[in-house]
Amino acid sequence: MRENNHLPLHTCRVIEPAATINRLQILLHLCAASAVLYYHASRLFVTIHHNPFSLTSVSLLFIFLADVVLFFMWVLSQGFRYRPVSRSVFPERLPDDGLLPPVDIFIMTADPNKEPTIKVMNTVLSVMALDYPPEKLHIYLSDDAGADVTLRAAKEAYSFGRSWVPFCRRFAVGVRCPEVFFDDDLENDRQESKKEFVQEKQKIKVMYDTFKEKVMKLKEVKDSTKGFQKTRLDHPSEIEITRDTAEGDSTSREDLSIPSLVYVSREKRKGVPHHFKAGALNVLLRVSSVITNSPYILVLDCDMYSNDPSSTRQAMCFHLDSKLSPYLAFVQFPQEFYNISKNDIYCGELRQLFKTFWVGLDGLRGPVLSGTNFFVKRRALYGAKPGERSNREEFNAGDISRLKDKFGNSNEFCLSLVGKKSYDFDERIATYVKSQKENILILASCEYEDDTQWGEQIGFLYGSVVEDYFTGFHLHCRGWISTYCFPSKPAFRGNVPINFNDTLIQTKRWSTGLFEVALSKHCPLTFGLSKNFSSVLQSMCYAWQAFRPVYSFPLLCYGTLPQLCFLNGISLFPEVTSPWFGAFAFVFFSVCIQHLREVFLSGHNFITWCNEQRFWMIIGLTGQLFAVVNVFLKLIGIGAVNFDLTDKTTNEAQIKRYENGVFDFEGCSLMLLPATTLSLLNMGALIGGAWQMIKFNAINNLFAQLFLSCFILLLSLPLIEGITYRRDTGRVPSRVTIWSLVLSGLIIFMFS
């Protein structure tokens, strides 16, 4: 809160009645779920006693284990539901511009073939035009490919920025990403009446088109000179600073000046681990600390642009709150997307995370670090502890050699930790860039981190491919908190994969990274609780995420055993007329209703609910299942975990299928096999079993299994369509179809 006028910079309230309803539901659900587990256990006990190796015993055993896993996951997920909050910010109450702190902006790109250069430049331009004093913003573009095209395009972008940024300021443009702006009718309608605006806009549009053309040409030149793949994984470090040299008297300079742009490509050598995005982020941390050393950092992926120029000021409402600030590591904004179709079949919006779970975490000790769209405090990343200590105390000034053991062998870097260096950019440039460029390049070299604590205690951590989750988790464990800033106008927007294969690859990477953490010594349930017992609920939430891939186990069990038993007339669940049935029904509907309530609360409809249920099932049997296998393989020493980049390029046919809500399985590997096999198995068993059920009039016994199979059939319709009658290129690949027909046929044959 601000002391001078007592008006708070932000407010926070618990979302009611949702919180109270959640807590009541937790109680009721707990009772019903205990009854279900008790029923299973007692029946299992009796059956195993009679005949331990029968299909019934084995099925009962696995269904019991599946229920234990589901119950465990349900318990963990209640952490998110206990205290959801909502926050508001008041940027107009911030101190004058002169008192605002500088911010370094990190933009990450890794491969111009998968990440179109023009999109990356749009991200750069969108933040260049943030509504914040330009001399206090410094943009760092990390290019992991070391691609010439990116460097040259960045320079072109900068010179276009000299016109673009003043234009945005002059007309208070709402969305400052050029590509979006020229497409946005709303923005244009708003200002169309101003003649001046129309004229200027036309001029700028011509400039933008020229800029775009130049970038395309750069790419063509690059494509014609092969050999790019070689340099992507093997190249020296390179740093280039492009800065504002606007001339004129001080007032016009003020209007025209734009943030500086630093291009950084770290050294990469074959065989030397580069730790993917976390490695690139750490290089940027070091390089920026000897150039600008701003106390706050905004991290953005190249597929995210700034959609609201006031985001930095919004974040400062938290960072400049004197009570909160000593403990606040980062302010997270949600990831929102511009290319989500109306019927978001791949659940790319990540609604559950960003609209429900992070809101719940915000009421505890704050949301999980989400990779992009966050403003983090530099000190927190350097291993500092929360509290009011100064850098000098924290980093033990005077003893540079001790610092070097931790932070590596650079005087400049260690001095930046303790020194009260000014933030004067010009001065820094004069000192470092002209005379000591070599000293900066070393910070971006392969060997710099050898025998240091980078990636282990300091910077972004290397223990997992979900560096964001892992790093945020450690910050929380060290006692830092975070806040969630979720304004109604999206602050940043990005794009999501629009075909199933890309979604699958992405989910598999996330699940692998998360599950790696679950099985490591940093498991949130042990490490998390031992470090920060004050927030059991938050550790539960971290654990829920890390263990999430184990949903694949109950999905596998529930996708095979009840069906095979149904086929054989074996009942696994209580009769409809038994009171126990009530407990089962309650648990099922309680989960469904809780989910539905959350979907409605976040402004979505029943279709979203269906999509999320379906996606949960399919991804559990594909991406998450393979992630679990992957992690086990890595544990026993075979296989490695990689950061497979998501492809940001698209083609017309794909876009069309996505817009029409038709699943696009093009390019899917055998990873799809468990899901397709089980959906066929379910359908076969449903038909065969229903016939028997009618014949023997066993509906009372088998109703639960009949219901389950029908439910699964509905959820797996896109798979079945993709296998059976679809003929377009987006159908399930023939290889997968043939294998799943063979496998499901074989299983049914063996068990009927």
User: Rounded to an integer, what distance in angstroms lies between the CA atom of residue 497 and that of residue 730?
Assistant: 15
450 is catalytic: no
User: Rounded to an integer, what distance in angstroms lies between the CA atom of residue 483 and that of residue 472?
Assistant: 12
* Residue among 627, 624, 607 nearest 616 (CA): 624
CB under 5 A: which stretch of 281-289, 293-301, 335-343, 379-387 binds Mn ion? Answer: 293-301
- Residue 31 beta carbon to ligand UPG: minimum distance, rounded to whole angstroms: 38
Per rule CB under 5 A, is residue 336 in the interface with Mn ion?
Answer: no
Cβ distance to ligand UPG smaller for residue 288 or 740 = 288
Contact yes or no for 560/93 (Cβ under 8 A):
no
Contact yes or no for 352/612 (Cβ under 8 A):
yes
Cβ distance to ligand UPG smaller for residue 372 or 590 = 372
468 is catalytic: yes
Contact yes or no for 662/538 (Cβ under 8 A):
no
CB under 5 A: which stretch of 194-202, 303-311, 409-417, 478-486 binds Mn ion? Answer: 303-311
Radius of gyration of the chain (CA): 28
110 binds, among ligand UPG, Mn ion, none (CB under 5 to 8 A by kind): ligand UPG
* Residue among 86, 216, 38, 170 nearest 587 (CA): 38
CB under 5 A: which stretch of 244-252, 302-310, 608-616, 703-711 binds Mn ion? Answer: 302-310
* Residue among 169, 100, 83 nearest 130 (CA): 169
Q: Give the nearest residue (CB) to ligand UPG.
A: 371
Name the burial class of residue 726, with classes exposed (0-12), middle (13-18) and buried (19+) by CB atoms within 10 angstroms of its CB.
Answer: middle
- Residue 304 beta carbon to Mn ion: minimum distance, rounded to whole angstroms: 7
Is the backbone of residue 669 left (phi > 0), alpha (psi -120 to 50) or beta? Answer: beta
Cβ distance to Mn ion smaller for residue 260 or 332 = 332
Per rule CB under 5 A, is residue 303 in the interface with Mn ion?
Answer: yes
Determine the 3-state secondary structure of 346 from DSSP. coil
* Residue among 119, 124, 130 nearest 179 (CA): 119
Residue 471, phi then psi, degrees to nearest 5: -65, -45
Residue of 67, 104, 131, 144 marked active site: 144
- Residue 111 beta carbon to ligand UPG: minimum distance, rounded to whole angstroms: 7
Cβ distance to ligand UPG smaller for residue 108 or 477 = 108
Strand 304-306 and strand 492-494: pairing?
A: antiparallel
- Residue 86 beta carbon to Mn ion: minimum distance, rounded to whole angstroms: 27
Is residue 144 a known part of a binding site? yes
Cα torsion angle, 38, 39, 43, 48, sign: negative
Cβ distance to ligand UPG smaller for residue 152 or 275 = 275
547 binds, among ligand UPG, Mn ion, none (CB under 5 to 8 A by kind): none
Is residue 489 a known part of a binding site? no
Is residue 114 a known part of a binding site? yes
**How far does Cα 633 stand from its chain's mean position?**
24
Partnered with residue 106 across adjacent β-strands are 140, 299
* Residue among 128, 98, 122 nearest 109 (CA): 122
| H helices present in 51-182, as ranges | 55-77, 117-128, 148-170, 178-181
- Residue 494 beta carbon to Mn ion: minimum distance, rounded to whole angstroms: 6
Residues found near ligand UPG in the complex (CB under 6 A): 108-110, 115, 142, 144, 276-277, 280, 301-303, 371-372, 465-468, 506, 509-510, 513, 643, 645-646
Contact yes or no for 235/266 (Cβ under 8 A):
no
Is residue 115 a known part of a binding site? yes
Cβ distance to ligand UPG smaller for residue 333 or 480 = 333
Cβ distance to ligand UPG smaller for residue 51 or 649 = 649
CA atoms within 13 A on the CB side of 45: 6
657 binds, among ligand UPG, Mn ion, none (CB under 5 to 8 A by kind): none
Strand 374-377 and strand 85-89: pairing?
A: unpaired
Residue of 131, 468, 647, 664 marked active site: 468
Instruction: Give the binding site for Mn ion (CB under 5 A).
Output: 301, 303
Catalytic residue positions?
Answer: 144, 468
Annotated binding-site members for UDP-alpha-D-glucose: 114-115, 144
